Amino acid sequence: MLLATVAAYGQAPKATPKAAPKAAATAGAPAAPSGPDVAVLGRISFKGQAPVLKPIAMDSEPTCAAKHTGKVFPETVVVNPNGTLKNVFVYVKTGLEGKTFPVPQTPVTLNQLGCMYDPHVFGILVGQDLKIVNSDATTHNVHGAAQINPDFNIGQRQGAGPIIRIFDKPETTVPIVCNQHPWMKSVAHVMSNPFFAVSGADGGFEIKNLPPGTYTLEALHEKYGASTQQVTVVAGKPVTVNFSFSSGQAFVPGSLKTLATVIVP
């Protein structure tokens, strides 16, 4: 299953053409919860020099290029204007063993728009539908290169109906690429619990509705790897947990443990 945005149960965002990010808060500014249901919040800081990424050449797909107003860059590393890191996946790694969670009936939607995947990083629950749609006037080839779950490789023509896939086991950092357009990539994280988030254009994230308890959180980035922290959640009092990645660090692999968490259909 796939992941969606910065909230529990991973609801997928509406697909829109890429736009220049708005100016974010200053680096180091404390995060503020967006509502009373927020249990954990924080920001992902980035230290060092951001890598220089080359613009994507879409000359072979003029209909895709026309959907963008300027240059399009890979989303492997997106450093925000306030010195934070976008597209970091944060989830509860341990502390929910033996808990049961219903599988959402709403699918996670992965859109192909302007020959880019949207969202770039998402979370999805085991057993939840992943709905892959093609909004482009061209053919795509959706390749989910999973290691624990079955690999899939499916062509999708212009105007074709959605592709539905389901992941059966927890698995982090599942690359989804397009064999027709090698620059296209999305990263799915398949979870056994709904408590996860993806850092946004200000580097912030929120995990909602997490019950009181002590947990291990893991932050995952596709280039820089994993970082973990322990956190204790108290009812009615959001706890702040910040992570940091740096340009010089080597990739640190995640170590997702298949939790004894039961997913209820």
Q: What is the pLDDT of residue 8?
A: 37
Q: What is the pLDDT of residue 264?
A: 41
Domains held by the chain: number? 1
7 within a domain of the structure (yes/no)? no
Question: Which tokens hold the place of 250?
Answer: 């080597």
Token pair 């990424």: residue: 53
Distances (CA, A) of 148 to 118, 173, 248: 23, 11, 30
Q: What is the pLDDT of residue 20?
A: 39
User: CB–CB of 93/191 below 8 Å?
Assistant: no
55 within a domain of the structure (yes/no)? yes
22 within a domain of the structure (yes/no)? no
169 within a domain of the structure (yes/no)? yes
15 within a domain of the structure (yes/no)? no
6 within a domain of the structure (yes/no)? no
Q: What's the CA gap between 156 and 141, in Å, rounded?
A: 6
Question: Which tokens hold the place of 35?
Answer: 């509502």
257 within a domain of the structure (yes/no)? yes
Q: What is the pLDDT of residue 259?
A: 40
Token pair 């192909």: residue: 112
Q: What is the pLDDT of residue 252?
A: 66
Which tens digit of pLDDT belongs to each residue from 77-123?
999 999 999 999 999 999 999 998 999 999 999 999 999 999 999 99
Query: Measuring CA to CA, which residue among 45, 60, 40, 88 is closest to residue 199?
Result: 88
Q: How many residues does the chain have?
A: 265
140 within a domain of the structure (yes/no)? yes
Whether the predicted model's global pTM rises above the 0.75 cut: yes
Q: What is the pLDDT of residue 227?
A: 96
Q: What is the pLDDT of residue 255?
A: 59
Low-confidence ranges of the chain (pLDDT < 50): 1-28, 257-265
Q: What is the pLDDT of residue 256?
A: 57
CATH code (residue 175): 2.60.40.420
Q: What is the pLDDT of residue 123?
A: 98
Q: What is the pLDDT of residue 144?
A: 98
Q: What is the pLDDT of residue 111?
A: 98
User: CB–CB of 135/113 below 8 Å?
Assistant: yes
Residue 102 structural domain: 38-264
